[in-house]
Amino acid sequence: MIRELHKKLVAGEITSVELTQQHLDAINPEIGAYISVQEEQALEQAAAVDARIARGEKIPLLAGIPGAIKDLINVKGVVTTAGSKMLEQYESPYDATVIEKLREHQAVFLGKVNLDEFACGGSTERSAYGVTRNPHDQTRVPGGSSGGSTAAVAAGEAVWSLGTDTGGSIRQPSSFCGTVGLKPTYGRVSRYGVIAYASSLDQVGPIANTVEDVAIVLSTIAGQDKKDATSAHSDGQRYEDYLSGNVKGARIGIPQEFLGEGLDSGVREVFMQAVERYKACGAEIVEISLPHTDSALATYYVIALAELSSNLARFDGVRFGRSANRSDHNSITDYYRDVRSHGFGEEIKRRLMLGTYTLSAGYYDAYYKKAGQVRNLIKQDFQKAFEEVDYIFTPTTPEVAFKIGERVNDPLKMYLTDIYNVPANLAGLPGLSIPIGTVSQDGKDLPVGGQILGKWFDEEGVLNAGFAYEQATKK
């Protein structure tokens, strides 16, 4: 879609202002994807691109193409809420590195989109700014925490979007909404200017309707950043140039641990049909084992919540976050308690208490240190698997999108929706979710996603494997 729109812009068949206005007009408050819309700024960005085209200047592929930004990513002069009342008045004084890169490529920003508070959630019901609904069935969740990012794309309210993925927060909602979503290798994209959840797990990634569009956005935002010591060189790759669609001879591993108890029968059927399609494309299907998969979810939550506790300690109403009248409090402890109890939602409080507990004296070795050891075992499982196969293919989620309100009071059941996603974050692998079919429920065809995992820093291969499937379904 981005390439076709680019051609139309250059040929004068449409202007960026017209394209941007079309998407602004498409924003549906009932879906609730956007927290804030920057209409004036978006149209100014679009007009600037139109002026460049009028002058005969060459423009990048993403120039003038409207997208949405997860409200966890700082955009200068725009409020970044992180879906929390704690930051409802925080206007960012600077751009995140990914935003700087998008500006260099003259992309258009329509607005900031909804998320579970501080990216903690799997349904986008835990935002202080309302619930986001799934465009395929508005009684269902879009997934989370990047629910606003995926819903905006799925509803035609943006051509592309940025999300973040700590434990499936790009891939799971992409599966629920029928979009394409990529969690890059840890370090492929700078995290500078992105409000941290779990620093050793977080990664920014693109969401769009096609694999090529995701590749184009990744080409724009990837690369080393001196402001993020964990970021890696990308050598200026144009990931869209690697999309040959040829997977003949590629060895694709199917881990049996992902096909057992808990997998919905309809999702399993769609997934097995997708496996057959890969066979028809010439890929070799190999049964593999990832033996520590059953420990991944517990390991993830120990590590993620411990890091969350550390990262959110700064939001105390003195250094960062909403403040209160200090004269109304008898001590600084009372002040902190007031600010944090009113600024944070219930899910954040639950996770902060759990994370703080695992880091407390006497429990650090039993929980956090042990989780780190199991994390290494999970990584070793993948290293061994990739000695045999080129890619690993799994269902993205064990089920389709569930009903709004269905799991709000059942945290464990909510957390289990990420059971197939968290291993890739723990290992730092790239993971791509692509639409592979639908399951019918309550008279609605609900999307099912397939997850392609690849070797570290092999986004080229992962994207091409997704592109091959996408092209095969078009024939």
The catalytic residues are: 70, 145, 169
Tokens of 93: 């004084």
Is 97 in contact with 228 (CB distance < 8 Å)? Answer: yes
Among 348, 316, 343, 349, which Cα is nearest to 332's?
316
Task: Please list, in sequence order, all residues whose beta carbon lies within 8 angstroms of the beta carbon of residue 263, skipping any fewer than 6 positions away.
Answer: 395, 398, 399
How far is it, in rounded angstroms, from Cα 169 to Cα 417? Answer: 11
Tokens of 57: 């200047």
How far is it, in rounded angstroms, from Cα 48 to Cα 100? Answer: 16
Task: Please list, in sequence order, all residues whose beta carbon lies within 8 angstroms of the beta carbon of residue 155, skipping any fewer than 6 positions away.
Answer: 26, 28, 31, 33, 135
| Helix, strand, coil shares, percent, the chain, to 5 | 45, 15, 40
Helix (H, G, I), strand (E, B) or coil at 468: helix
Cis bond upstream, residue 145 (ω within 30): yes
Residue 405 sits at φ, ψ, to 5 deg, of 90, -10
How far is it, in rounded angstroms, from Cα 393 to Cα 360? Answer: 38
Is 284 in contact with 389 (CB distance < 8 Å)? Answer: no
Q: How many residues are given for the chain?
A: 475
Tokens of 212: 């090529």
- Radius of gyration for the chain, computed over Cα atoms and rounded to the nearest angstrom: 21
How far is it, in rounded angstroms, from Cα 337 to Cα 362? Answer: 24
Helix (H, G, I), strand (E, B) or coil at 452: strand
